[in-house]
Amino acid sequence: MADLNKFRYTIESCNHCGQCKWLLPGRMYGWDFASVCPIHDYYNFDAYSGQGMLNLAGEIMNGTLPHGEKLAEMLHTCTACGACDVNCKNVRDMEVLDTIYELRKDCAEAGFLPESRKKTAENVVKNHNIYGLPHEQRFSFLPEDFKDDPEADTVLFAGCSVYKHPETFLAAVKILRAGGVKFRVLKEDEWCCGASLWRMGDWEDAKELIVRNTEMFREMGIRTVITACAECFGSFRSGYPRFVETAFETKHISQVALELLRDGKLKLSKDELPVTACYHDPCMLGRLSETYIPWEGEIKSYGLHVPEKQWRRGEHGVYEPPRELLNAIPGLKLVEMPRSREESLCCGQNASDMDPDFAKHTAEERRREASASGADTIVSCCPFCREALDAQDEYKLQYLDLTELIADRLAEEVES
């Protein structure tokens, strides 16, 4: 059951400093590109911010504000990108994002969940994917002669996005095969990772799905899960430990590809790719991918946690492997946006079902930032960021998926 009292310290300690909305002054490049909260940047009301969410949580916790449909819509317009949480922790250690999760959970248990989110949950429960498409068609794009290693203890997890972007999965297959990695594909046994469920507050369905997936991995002897989807990666790392103990390691394809490249098992083409690219850090591969470690204890004066708590401040996300891979491509010049790594601006796609205009505005702001950095290309590795950032607008930036880019740049001959 939801229990906002678990976050009473965070809720009551907020002093309205505004750090959840902006980069630290010492990290700003200037006033432009200084905001980190997409909803506050768009709506310009304090309620639409980490601070505002904590205020709402306090009112609900104390019984002075009831749940309702409009409140639910507001809570779910937030992309839950975690930028507020990271920047709050630059000043003091409080759990802003986890409070937002608990607030959503409380809202869902009160019977208030936006219709689009209800539909997504229904799709996952009935069809095992967020789109509600036939489960048996999940891997219908695979050629009839496709072969994997059914005895391998490593699985390449496709994720729901494989319905829309099978080319990314095939690129990951190409990379693993070129590097001599033995892996298996779950096919009809693969269900959604569950990210959409627990992040929207539907923890009952999320737990059932996560227990099912975890038990399946255990029974199959899976020790490593590789994914090319940032959302799945973040879910396995920061979502699953909230529900179960996991015995498998999660790796992103960029981490695996870099290991293979360093070991000489992969070679990139020497042909130059004359582009100036910036890398967009997906939220669930970056700041939200740090392993979640459950904590129970007592919070004493000045926020002293007993026993000591291991904090997730976003700094240990997967930031360097994608950049090292890009730097290894001849001719490619990598530039950085002012908001990058744990302070990356969310693309906004996670709220496109709630407010398309807000989502479009946020994606355009990110593309404006990329253009201002001198880039002609945006590279990322999240299917949802792809939907947001692969657009036609005044900035005329092309979008490239990192996994597909690396697969396309593989040399034909690789030394064994």
Tokens describing residue 326: 């890009």
> Are residues 56 and 144 part of one domain?
no
> Residues 18-29: pLDDT tens digits?
899 999 888 888
> Are residues 108 and 149 part of one domain?
no
What are the residue ranges of helices labelled H in 284-412?
320-327, 356-372, 383-389, 402-408
Backbone angle region of 97, left / alpha / beta, with phi > 0 → left and psi within -120 to 50 → alpha: alpha
Judge contact between 280 and 347, C-beta under 8 A: yes
> Are residues 240 and 196 part of one domain?
yes
Residue 414 has pLDDT above 60, yes or no: no
Residue 201 belongs to a domain with what CATH number? 3.40.50
The number of folded domains in the chain is: 2
Q: Please count the other Cβ atoms lying within 10 Å of the Cβ belonging to residue 174.
A: 16
Range of the domain at 50: 1-113
The per-residue pLDDT for 415 is 43
Q: CA nearest 205: which of 97, 118, 292, 116?
A: 118
- Which residues sit opposite 279 in a β-bridge? 379
Judge contact between 307 and 406, C-beta under 8 A: no
> Residues 160-207: pLDDT tens digits?
999 999 999 999 999 999 999 999 999 999 999 999 999 999 999 999
Q: CA nearest 351: which of 317, 384, 314?
A: 384
394, burial (CB in 10 Å: exposed 0-12, middle 13-18, buried 19+) = exposed
Residue 57 belongs to a domain with what CATH number? 1.10.1060
> Residues 142-160: pLDDT tens digits?
998 999 999 999 999 999 9
356, burial (CB in 10 Å: exposed 0-12, middle 13-18, buried 19+) = exposed
Of the three residues 72, 98, 113, the one that is the final residue of a domain is: 113
Residue 413 has pLDDT above 80, yes or no: no
- Which residues sit opposite 252 in a β-bridge? 227
> Are residues 125 and 248 part of one domain?
yes
Of the three residues 239, 262, 285, the one that is the final residue of a domain is: 262
Average pLDDT of the chain is 95
Distance CA 102, CA 58 (A): 12
Residue 247 has pLDDT above 50, yes or no: yes
How would residue 282 be classed by pLDDT, with cut points 50, 70 and 90? very high
Of the three residues 243, 262, 281, the one that is the final residue of a domain is: 262
Distance CA 361, CA 369 (A): 12
Query: What's the rounded mean pLDDT across residues 360-372?
Result: 97
Entry pTM: 0.96
Tokens describing residue 371: 């253009």
Q: Is 7 helix (H, G, I), strand (E, B) or coil?
A: helix
Q: For 268, list phi and psi in degrees, rounded to 5.
A: -95, 150
> Residues 58-71: pLDDT tens digits?
999 999 999 999 99
Which residue carries 């969940």 as its tokens? 113
> Are residues 144 and 28 part of one domain?
no
> Residues 335-348: pLDDT tens digits?
999 999 999 999 99
> Are residues 162 and 98 part of one domain?
no
Distance CA 300, CA 116 (A): 41
Q: CA nearest 340: which of 364, 323, 362?
A: 323
How would residue 354 be classed by pLDDT, with cut points 50, 70 and 90? very high
How would residue 400 be classed by pLDDT, with cut points 50, 70 and 90? very high
